[in-house]
Structure 1
Amino acid sequence: MALTLYIVRHAKAEDRAIFMSDFDRKLTSDGVMAAARMGRYLKGEGVLPDVITSSTAPRASETAKGIAEQIGYDLAKIDFNEKLYEGGPKAYLAAINAVPETAQSAMIVGHNPDVSYLAEFLTHQTIGSMSKGAVVAVTFENLSWAEVSGRTGNVSFQMTPKKLSNEQ
């Protein structure tokens, strides 16, 4: 049985102002639209994860909500994990390993460089720096979520807001 993990980098956020902490940055209007566009794309691909986990930073949580609204995921069920903000790749791996075994698919929404590193670590494939709002889908064959680790997955697809704009 295969598991699928959707790794999402938050969409475009406002620049950091002198009076604003990095944590508090919100999505720009372009970021809101990109998250919605990505959600519509994922819905068209039949994506409806059993679990969505997101960083608590506004730009990540707004991205998670924007995608969830489009795919029909209950916003009240999004798991907001404060450790994903500045927790490093170990925090992401811990969140993945904690996904309930009943779940066939999961989505994790967070920040660079952690999400890009995570995608490469899990697949041992070159992903590069994920663009804002991008999604990388990784599949795992014959593993439980607790067994997911380095070099255990394969990229099934990658999509960016820019590619979606060019396709429309």
Structure 2
Amino acid sequence: MARTLVLLRHAKAEPEGDLGDARRPLATKGRKQATALGPRLAEAVGAVDVALVSSALRTTETYRLVSQQLRVREDTISDELYEAGPRQVLAMLQALDAGTSTVLVVGHEPTMSHLAHLLHDAQDDLARQVSLGIPTAAACVLEVPTAWADLDRSTAHLHQLLRPEG
């Protein structure tokens, strides 16, 4: 069974200010980014079986806007994902039901780029680009040839980095 993993960094957020990091909303630019990315994600991956979304306001807002263009069967808003590093997110993915084919994770930097780099099975231009970090509203699309339980270092292939603008 072919599996797809999408690691999406939230769209551009307002500065922290007095709200605190978890309550930062999307900036106007971020709302535009997320709205523009939705159709590109839908075209690239089709439907999503499971969406794992950080509980931070900017990630839930990004997800809400992106998912208007995607068919998502099930989603989970997770406090754990808000502070998770790459290995913690990997553990969440390894625990997924074996029948799940497409997963969207909406999270934060540097976790999204570090996890994509960890999972990618090649040292190519995409790997170098992702190793430097990914911009807001960018999505790493990985092909996963293994079962979720077997997902680990160098077991997936990063084949696309999607951005809202071309």
TM-score normalised by length of structure 2: 0.89
Separation in structure 1 between the aligned mates of residue 160 and residue 11 of structure 2, nearest angstrom: 18
Separation in structure 2 between the aligned mates of residue 85 and residue 100 of structure 1, nearest angstrom: 22
Separation in structure 1 between the aligned mates of residue 14 and residue 60 of structure 2, nearest angstrom: 14
TM-score normalised by length of structure 1: 0.88
Structure 2 residue 35 is matched with structure 1 residue 33: no
Q: Any stretches of 5+ residues in structure 1 without a counterpart? A: none
Q: Any stretches of 5+ residues in structure 2 without a counterpart? A: 122-126
Instruction: Report the counterpart of residue 124 of structure 2 in structure 1.
Output: none
Q: What is the percentage of aligned positions where both structures have the same residue?
A: 29
Separation in structure 2 between the aligned mates of residue 121 and residue 45 of structure 1, nearest angstrom: 22
Q: CA deviation at 1:120?
A: 0.2
Asked whether the equivalents of residues 99 and 106 of structure 1 are also in contact (C-alpha less than 8 Å), the reply is no
Please tell me the residue identity of whatever aligns with 1:5.
Answer: L
Q: Secondary structure at the match of 1:85?
A: helix
Instruction: Report the counterpart of residue 10 of structure 1 in structure 2.
Output: 10
Alignment of 1:1-168 (within 5 A): 1-17=1-17, 19-73=18-72, 77-124=74-121, 125-126=127-128, 127=130, 128-141=132-145, 143-161=146-164, 164=165, 167=166
Q: CA deviation at 1:95?
A: 1.6
- Misfit runs of 4+, over 3 Å: none
Q: CA deviation at 1:153?
A: 0.7
Asked whether the equivalents of residues 40 and 162 of structure 2 are also in contact (C-alpha less than 8 Å), the reply is no
Separation in structure 2 between the aligned mates of residue 87 and residue 40 of structure 1, nearest angstrom: 28
- RMSD over equivalenced CA pairs, Å: 1.4
Q: How many residues align?
A: 159
Deviations 1:80-123 (A, max 9, x none): 11111122112211221122211111010100011110000011
Please tell me the residue identity of whatever aligns with 2:52.
Answer: T
Q: CA deviation at 1:3?
A: 1.0
Please tell me the residue identity of whatever aligns with 1:12.
Answer: K
Separation in structure 1 between the aligned mates of residue 14 and residue 76 of structure 2, nearest angstrom: 24
